[in-house]
Amino acid sequence: MKKIISIFILLSLSTASYANWFQDIIDCINKQAAISNGMMGNQLALSSSMLSTEKDMQKLLDHLNDHMTSHSGYGNYQFHDYQSYGSDAKDWSTLMAMADRGHGGGELGQIIGSVSREFPSDRYSYNRGVSDSQAQRYYAAKSQTMLAARAASQLDYNKIQEQIAYQQMLLKQVEKSKDLKAAMDLSNRIQIEGNLIHLEILRQSAFINQQQAISEQGSVISALSNAKFLTKKGD
């Protein structure tokens, strides 16, 4: 009897131990499944977030591209040529020819006509009084240069206030720029207008340099005339 009871107790303990071990396995499997499901959910959430970010980035790039390729119209916006002297002054020789005529096309030609009438060079009267051909050419060059320089200086001065108003008008458009491309176009337009003004100043410097060169040429002519006179006197 004791032997039977002992066997029954052993079987009971073995069964309980087996049941606990089996439950541990089930619990472990469930935990692994929960972990796997959680990781899969996180991966799906991460993938969805990345896809949403890529779409947002593409929208931003498309929006930026639209702003960088638009046509603002600022390149020709209320364009006015304040710097050109006209076709009659496209180079130095044509400018001197216009000064020699005492009139020409455009605003510069009009001012040359006005100054020429006020102070005529009267080259022909000079040539009748001075027969030396070199002196005649020098007088023509000096009078034409003086006339052109004075007319150009007067014209540029008259345009200064208009140029200031023109720059202010362009600056007022800064706040009206609708996108980045328009703002960049307007900035470039204002810079170009500033460059044109610098070129205008450079042209005035060229006039001054030419006048100085003409004056120095007169000194050379005088020195040469004196040398010829002394040479003849010595002979």
Residue 70 has pLDDT above 80, yes or no: no
Residue 212 has pLDDT above 60, yes or no: yes
Higher pLDDT among residues 97 and 192, named by residue: 97
Q: Is this prediction's pTM over 0.75? A: no
Average predicted confidence (pLDDT) for the chain: 74
pLDDT for 185:
78
pLDDT digits (tens, 9 = 90+) for 34-59: 555 555 555 656 556 665 666 666 66
Q: What is the pLDDT of residue 34?
A: 57
Q: What is the pLDDT of residue 7?
A: 46
For residue 126, is pLDDT > 70? yes
Mean pLDDT, rounded, for 150-168: 88
3-state secondary structure the chain: CHHHHHHHHHHHHHHHHHHHHHHHHHHHHHHHHHHHHHHHHHHHHHHHHHHHHHHHHHHHHHHHHHHHCCCCCCCCCCCCCCCCCCHHHCCHHHHHHHHHHCCCCHHHHHHHHHHHHHCCCCHHHHHHHCCCHHHHHHHHHHHHHHHHHHHHHHHHHHHHHHHHHHHHHHHHCHHHCCCHHHHHHHHHHHHHHHHHHHHHHHHHHHHHHHHHHHHHHHHHHHHHHHHHHHHHHHC
By CB atoms closer than 10 A (0-12, 13-18, 19+), residue 103 is middle
Question: In this predicted model, which residue has the larger pLDDT, 30 or 129?
Answer: 129
Mean pLDDT: which of 33-37, 46-50, 72-76, 193-197 is highest?
193-197
